[in-house]
Structure formats: C-alpha cells, structure tokens
Amino acid sequence: MKKYKITFFIFLLSLLQSIAAHAQIQPNTISIGTYMGVIAPDITNKFYRNDALHDKLKYGLSLAWDFEYHTRYSKIGIEILSQYNFPKACDRDGFCFNPFYTFHLYGNIIFHLLPEKRYIPYLSGGPGFVYMDLNWRGDEKKFHLIWNYGGGYDFFIKRHWLIRIDARLHQYKLSTQDWDIMTLKEYGTSRRNIGWMWYFQLTGGIRYQF
C-alpha cells in the first residue's frame, strides 16, 4: 500500500509540474466544453405531489455542451450553454416512465473569481428557453422561458485543457393550462397552475481553451 501511495504522490507532482505557469483564463479567447451528469427534476415536489406520481423516485441523465467567449476582462465571460436531459420517475417496484425529455438553451454571464489560478471557482446565470414534449403528440405548449443559476470549479490539467465540475439550478413556470386533456389524464393531474418548477443538475466534464 505504501508503494502505491508513493507512486500516486510522484504522479501528482509530475502532473502539477506539467501545467505551464500561464495556464490560466486568457482574455479574448474561446473555450468549449462537454459534460455529463445527473438531473433531479422538480426538487420542490410540485409536479410529483399528486397521487399518481408522489411515491416515485426522480432522477435522470443530463448531457451538456457550452461555448464561452472570454472578454478582455478575464473574469467575465459570455456563455452559450445547451443541455439535453432524460428525467425518469421510478416507483419502488422498479417500474419507470419518462415524465418528459427537456432541451435547454441559455445565454449566460459567467464570472471567474480567480482567473489567474489553476483552480478557478466561478458563478454564472442567465435566461433561456426549455423545450419539453410531454406526450410526443404535438398538441401542448412546448417552449417555456427558463432561468438558470450555478457555479463550480475549473481546474487546468494542461496549458489548454481543463476539468469542470458544475452545479446548477433551473427555474421555469409550468402551467397545466398549456396541456391538452389527454396529457392531463396521462399524468394524473388537473387543470391548475403548478407554478415555478426547479431542477437541480450536477455535471462534470472537460473543456478546451483556444
């Protein structure tokens, strides 16, 4: 065990030494990234509180991509963030169904707190839209205004390569007034205004700074 610890320590030191001193957020550059993680839909339990859904466990796979322009002020970036989510609900007997797939597209402002460091905490947020298809028939409202707020860490592993860990909240208003009668029956709900919905998302992945 001691041998493995020493080997790991030497590997860690060599990795840190391989990171160039100028491996930091550079002004007037572009970064792109791809991420994967999990999404927890309806963390305030508004949609799932009805009798047909309340006993189900909610989770889902989340895929994300982003494009960021680092402005002349290295702390400030302009980000286009897109996400595709596969939320599911499963009961304790193992029966699962897909409540709805969602696609998100945002225009965010991102604030890098320590752009000159190897470890870079950041905050970001902005508006966008969410596309959801509840029943695949095309007879309910599919586009909703949505907001997102998040933050995380970027870590340089080489001069241009970074690892990102991101935690994010998504907020949008969902109303059953936008649904057709068949969709209401399928989801066991009624014509009432559900109100503000919140998703929580946790993703990780890799970025490249040009």
CA–CA distance, 149 with 129 (Å, rounded to integer): 14
In the block, tokens 């047909």 appear at 52
Q: Range with the lowest mean pLDDT among 14-23, 46-55, 130-139, 142-151?
A: 14-23
CA–CA distance, 24 with 26 (Å, rounded to integer): 6
Q: Count of domains in the chain?
A: 1
pLDDT band at 102 (very low <50, low <70, confident <90, very high): confident
**CA distances (Å), origin 193, targets 40, 45, 177:** 21, 14, 7
Strand duo 57-70 + 29-40: pairing:
antiparallel
Amino acid at the residue 200: F
**CA distances (Å), origin 132, targets 2, 67, 141:** 53, 23, 8
pLDDT band at 100 (very low <50, low <70, confident <90, very high): low
pLDDT at residue 21 is higher than 50: no
For the whole model, what pTM was predicted? Answer: 0.76
CA–CA distance, 37 with 202 (Å, rounded to integer): 6
CATH code of residue 46: 2.40.160.20
Q: How many residues does the chain have?
A: 210
Domain carrying residue 52: 2-209
Give the per-residue pLDDT at 12.
54
- Residue 140: both structure tokens together: 């309910």
Give the per-residue pLDDT at 27.
85
Choose from 48-57, 90-99, 116-125, 129-138 the range with maximum mean pLDDT.
Answer: 116-125
pLDDT band at 30 (very low <50, low <70, confident <90, very high): very high
Does 144 or 3 have the greater pLDDT score? 144
Give the per-residue pLDDT at 96.
67
Q: Which residues contact 138 (CB under 8 A, 6 or more apart)?
A: none
pLDDT in tens, 157-192: 888 899 999 999 999 887 777 777 777 776 667 666
CB neighbour burial string for 62-74, b if at least 16 within 10 angstroms, e if fewer: bbbebebebeeeb
- Residue 38: both structure tokens together: 């999990």
pLDDT > 90 fraction of the chain, expressed in percent and rounded: 39
pLDDT at residue 121 is higher than 90: yes
